[in-house]
A and B are shown apart, each in its own frame.
Chain A
Amino acid sequence: MTMQRCTNCKTTLTEVAVVCVNCLSREFENFEAPTGGRLVSWTTIRRAPAGYCAAAPYDVVVVDLAPTIRVTGRLAPDSLPPSMGASVHQVGEENGCRLFVVSK
């Protein structure tokens, strides 16, 4: 999975960053982030906001891909059930949302 980081200080940055939060540099570079990580927490959304109602219920997850890379996403519908600390890996992206499954 491609992510971006600061060329100057190597701080990992979100997709929407326009300056480095650490050194204010505007020079970024892409790098291959891990696709696998650890499930930090999850919740099953049963009352969804507009635009997401058809997908409900769905599991929103927080995943640590590395000690300094925490991302949000959703569990793919065909994933194994989640559990705290489970190994997960990204299987795709849908409308800007990372899709994960619990690893076997």
Chain B
Amino acid sequence: MADIRIANVTKHFGAFHALKGIDLHVQDQEFMVLLGASGCGKSTLLRIIAGLETADAGTVHVGDERIDHLQAKDRRLSMVFQNYAVFPHLTVFENIAFGLRMQKRPEAEVKKKVQRVAELVHLEALLERYSGQLSGGQRQRVALARALAVEPRVILMDEPLSNLDALLRLEMRAELKTILAQSKTTTIYVTHDQVEAMSLADRIAIMNQGVIVQCDTPLEIYRNPATTFVAGFIGNPPMNFVPARAVEDGVFEALGHRLSGPLGHAKLTLGIRPEDLQSANNGFGIDVAVVEPLGAHTLVTAFVGEPRQVFRAALDSSQHYQAGQRLQLIPTLDRVRWYDSSGHLIA
């Protein structure tokens, strides 16, 4: 069993409070993504699990074994680094074999495992090359192969795709998903790219300023973001937020439209995603400012309210819209989300 239990992990860098009491439980063989903007603490958390940083407080367990007091070399985890860290003075073969050789495996076993993993990542023809002779994508696969060769119980990945160009990133994402599914290893994957997170994760832990804000399946996070921060982070274009006032208990008005909402609140923030709005005869009233026909849908942007906020709708591409036009938009009712004044989800 290789589940990972992180309890109350805290880390300061001088005066900077990087991690504020992180609790996280990653299931055995789960693909967990740590998602957040730079500086949120996700890489720090990963490095603490790997043993490259020491937490100020808290514990980390892998399975039944407590590992936070061990040196990195004794933790028997694998890691893929953002810049690959493929050893430039060793051949591809020697790179992949590195972890196995550190474990003092017999050479025949090493050869077999390296060959197998090299075939898995399509590197079998390049085993005698040096990293200086490889492309970025190839080096990334060497790093992956090196991590897989030791058949680890846990793989840690620190933004492994962020240094690839867009097209390569797309291909590698799919390959990564296939390979890792086959290897049945618990994986923690750090990224700032929400598309990567959505596509790869079993569960996503969204981090902001040293705290895990929400930890859930991708779809659940998308449908029910726990805070306005999460709602604005996931989904592109992001969720719209408009202030709503209760005209009577349970009935709210926003942008000239009335709809039912949670009882017992006088003022809430209404959240609705651009793709959950349709043009209708009456609904939210907006004055179109920008029209962007994107092919699959047409993105209509307006500025509403005091202070001005952006409001976007992804509408049917077969209709024609123009700037200055007055539109009425109704939301899909079960996709409307309500947030209180501190940004937390109510309903």
Asked if A pairs with B, the answer is no
* Partner-B contacts on A (CB < 8 A): none
